[in-house]
A and B are shown apart, each in its own frame.
Chain A
Amino acid sequence: MAIIVNLDVMLAKRKVKSKDLAEAVGITVQNISLLKSGKVKGIRFSTLEAICDYLDCVPGDILEYRREGDQSD
Chain B
Amino acid sequence: MKSNIEHVRHISKVMKNISTLVLWAVPVSLILIWANFDTARSFDFFHRLPDNLDHVGAVNYAGGLLVSGLVALTVIAAVYHLREFFALSSAGKMFSHASALALHKFSKYIILYAFLSIPAETLLSVILTMNNPVGERVVLISLQTYDITVIFLSLVLFTVSWVVKESAVIAEENAHFV
Contact = CB atoms under 8 A, between A and B. Distances in A.
Nearest to B172: A41
Contacts of A34: 178
Interface in B134-178: 173, 176-178
A27 interface: yes
A32 B173 CA distance: 17
Interface string A6-43: 00000000000000000000010001101100001111
Chain A, interface size: which category? 10 to 19
Nearest to A32: B178
A40 B176 CA distance: 5
Contacts of B177: 40-44
Interface of A is mostly: mixed
A27 B175 CA distance: 13
Contacts of B173: 41
Contacts, number: 19
A32 B178 CA distance: 8
A27 B177 CA distance: 11
Interface string A34-64: 1100001111100100000000000000000
Nearest to B177: A42
A3 to B, nearest CB: 14
A11 to B, nearest CB: 15
Nearest to B173: A41
19 contacts: A27-B178, A31-B178, A32-B178, A34-B178, A35-B178, A40-B176, A40-B177, A40-B178, A41-B173, A41-B176, A41-B177, A42-B176, A42-B177, A42-B178, A43-B177, A43-B178, A44-B177, A44-B178, A47-B178
Interface of B: 173, 176-178
7 smallest beta-carbon distances between A and B, as pairs: A41-B176, A31-B178, A42-B177, A40-B178, A35-B178, A47-B178, A40-B176
Given A42-B176, A44-B178, 13 more contacts: A27-B178, A31-B178, A32-B178, A34-B178, A40-B176, A40-B178, A41-B173, A41-B176, A42-B177, A42-B178, A43-B178, A44-B177, A47-B178
